[in-house]
Amino acid sequence: MPYCPDCGVEIGNAPVCPLCGARNPRSQAAAESNCPDVNESNHPSQRQGFLGKAAEAESLTVFEKRKIAWEVLSVAFSIAIVALSLINILVAGKLSWSLYPVSAFFFVWVLATAILIMGETSRLRYVLAILDVPIFLLALGLFTGDLSWAWRLAVPISLFSEIVIAGVALSVKSAKRQGLNILAYILVGAALICLGVETFVDLFAFGKISLGWSAITAIALIPIACFLIYLHYRVAKTTNLHRLFKL
Partner 1 sequence: MAIDKSQRFIHTKQIDESGAWYSLDNAGVIMPAVTNEISSGLFRVEVSLDEPVDEILLNRALADAANRFPYFNVNLKRGFFWYYLDQCHTSPQAFPDEGSPSQRWNINRRGTRMFRVRSSGNRIAVEFSHALTDGTGGMSFMKTLIVRYFALKGVEPGATIGEGEYSDIFPIETQPDKEEYEDGYQKHFPGKFPIPEPNPRAWHMRAPRLPPGQYRVITARLDLPAVLDEAKKRNVSITELLGAVYLDALQSLWFSESKKPKNHFISVEIPVNLRQFFKTKTNRNFSLFILLRENMQLGARGFDELVKRAHYQMRLENDPRSIARQIARNAGGTRNLLVRAVPLFMKDVAARILFAKLGETMLSGFISNLGTLRLPPGIVPHLRSVAFIPAPSTTTLTNASVISWKDDLIIAFGSLTHSRELERLFFRRLRSLNLAVSVRCRDDEE
- From 28, 32, 47, 82, residue interacting with partner 1 (rule: CB under 8 A): 47
Distance CA(239)–CA(85), nearest Å, equals 65
Distance CA(181)–CA(242), nearest Å, equals 12
Kindly state whether residue 11 participates in binding partner 1, applying the rule CB under 8 A: yes
CB of 27 to partner 1, least distance (A): 12
Q: Please state the φ and ψ torsions of residue 3, each to the nearest 5 degrees.
A: -120, 150
Kindly calculate the radius of gyration of the chain based on its CA atoms and give it in whole angstroms: 34
Kindly state whether residue 48 participates in binding partner 1, applying the rule CB under 8 A: yes
- From 16, 104, 130, 190, residue interacting with partner 1 (rule: CB under 8 A): 16
Spatial CB neighbours of 112, under 8 Å, sequence gap ≥ 6: 69, 70, 73
Query: 63 with 99: CB under 8 angstroms?
Result: no
Q: Could you tell me the CA-to-CA distances from 216 to 191, 196, 213, 221, 226 in Å, in that order?
A: 9, 13, 5, 9, 16
Kindly state whether residue 57 participates in binding partner 1, applying the rule CB under 8 A: yes
Q: Provide the 8-state DSSP code for 47.
A: G
Planar angle of CA 142, 130, 164, nearest 5 degrees = 115
Distance CA(239)–CA(246), nearest Å, equals 12
Under rule CB under 8 A, which residues in 224-243 are in contact with partner 1? Answer: 239-240, 242-243
Kindly state whether residue 121 participates in binding partner 1, applying the rule CB under 8 A: no
CB of 76 to partner 1, least distance (A): 24
CB of 184 to partner 1, least distance (A): 12
Kindly state whether residue 166 participates in binding partner 1, applying the rule CB under 8 A: no
Q: Which is nearer to partner 1, 9 or 209 (CB)?
A: 9
- From 134, 141, 156, 179, residue interacting with partner 1 (rule: CB under 8 A): 179
Compute how many residues bind partner 1; rule: CB under 8 A: 51
Residues that bind partner 1 (CB under 8 A): 1, 4, 7-21, 35, 38-40, 42-43, 46-50, 52-54, 57, 59-62, 172, 176, 178-180, 182-183, 239-240, 242-247
